[in-house]
Amino acid sequence: MRKSSRNVCIIVSNSRKVTPSPRYSGERVGVRGKEANASASSLRFRVGFCPVRQHRIGCGPAALWVLALAGFLAGPSWAAEKAGAAKTLIPADGKQGSLDGWQSFHEGGAKTADVWTLNADGVLHCKGLPLGYLFTEKEYGSFILELEYRWPAGQKPGRGGVLIRTQGQDKIWPKSLEAQINHPDAGDFWGLGGFALDGPSERLKTAEHPQFGKLTNLKKTAQAEKPAGQWNCYKITADGPTVTLEINGQVVNRATACDATPGRILLTSEGNPIEFRNVRLTPITK
């Protein structure tokens, strides 16, 4: 048999430098190509052809074992999480004008159409009154929620929020974790009704409220919101006990030790007009 001039080889490299975030430790690096999760290992495996002179491993049992190891590290089982298929929540399934899968609760028994309107362009307008919220019929535990919001041009920014993992009966306000939109505090966390969360002590405060129960506030680390009239991109990554907030591509907060019990997602009506669009959810499966 004619011997090939090229040999299969495996190059094992730890040349990749992983720099921890100066703000948060334990940053997770997603799997790209055949790279392993850098939070567990900085080794990178590349399998392919190379000249004979480079670190060649023959085709014996040892080479097959290393190939199998590289495949294992690069495979889905090495990833700490996998993202499922993204789903458009507003407009529901991308259907024009559809709020299927959503219900509402408001003071005085106001109906959804009294407070919320979804136009043909997919922009959801909230009048802000009466107080209440739009909520999903389904419950969600670990997921990536992405949406855009803005304060109407020419009006003073006010109060609003996105509540996740909401539990219990409908009321103002139910037990949940709030990703704050209140101006100028967009990016703050609020644990409502005794919702458990934790974070750096210098930014964490708790208080007892006669109506809302135990409240836990974790302040944001940066101001990233745009002026009224401009769309803001809000990304909420709820991954088990860790929840991360990004506004306009910037990480502004991260809470740990969060209650991971699945619950409904709420968009609040808190007294000021606000608009939403492109509400999409991608489930995270372990």
E strands in the chain: 7-13, 44-50, 82-83, 87-90, 102-106, 116-118, 124-126, 132-136, 143-150, 161-167, 175-180, 189-192, 204-209, 213-218, 232-239, 242-247, 250-255, 264-269, 274-285
**pLDDT given at position 94:** 82
pLDDT in tens, 40-51: 333 333 333 333
List, for residues 176-221, the tens digit of each pLDDT value.
999 999 999 999 999 999 999 999 999 999 999 998 899 999 999 9
Please list, residue by residue across 200-222, b when 16 or more beta carbons sit within 10 angstroms of its beta carbon and e when fewer do: eeeebeeeeeeebeebbbbbbbe
Ranges of the chain whose pLDDT falls below 70: 1-83
List domains and CATH numbers for the chain: 7-80 (no CATH), 83-285 (2.60.120.560)
Q: What's the pLDDT score for residue 83?
A: 63
pLDDT at site 95: 87
Position 82 scores a pLDDT of 59
Give the model's pLDDT for residue 84.
76
Tell me, what's the pLDDT at 60?
A: 53
Q: What is the pLDDT of residue 40?
A: 37
Identify the H or E element spanning 58: none
Per-residue b or e along 240-261, where b marks 16 or more CB atoms closer than 10 Å to that residue's CB: eebbbbbbbeebbbbbbebbbe
Q: How far is CA 133 from CA 90, 166, 232, 235, in A?
A: 14, 12, 20, 19
- Phi and psi at residue 225, to the nearest 5°: -75, 145
d(CA 232, CA 250): 11
